[in-house]
Structure 1
Amino acid sequence: MKRYEQLLDLVQSLEGDFEKFYDKSNQAAGTRVRKGMQELKNLAQEIRVEVQDIKNKA
Structure 2
Amino acid sequence: MEKFTKVKELIAGIEADVEKFSNAGNGAAGTRVRKAMQDLKVLAQEIRTEVTEKKNSK
Q: How far does residue 37 in structure 1 lie from its aligned partner after superposition?
A: 0.3
Provide Cα deviations, 1:16-42, integer angstroms capped at 9, x if missing partner.
Answer: 100110011100000000000000011
Retained in 1: the 8 A contact 2:4–2:47? no
4+ long deviations beyond 3 Å: none
CA distance in 2, matches of 1:39, 1:3: 12
Within 5 Å, give how 1:2-17 maps onto structure 2.
2-17=2-17
- 1:34 matched residue in structure 2: 34
- 1:46 matched residue in structure 2: 46
TM-score when scaled to structure 2? 0.94
Percent identity between the aligned chains?
52
Q: Structure 2, unaligned stretches of length 5 or more?
A: none
TM-score when scaled to structure 1? 0.94
CA distance in 2, matches of 1:30, 1:57: 41
RMSD, aligned CA: 0.7
Q: How far does residue 4 in structure 1 lie from its aligned partner after superposition?
A: 1.8
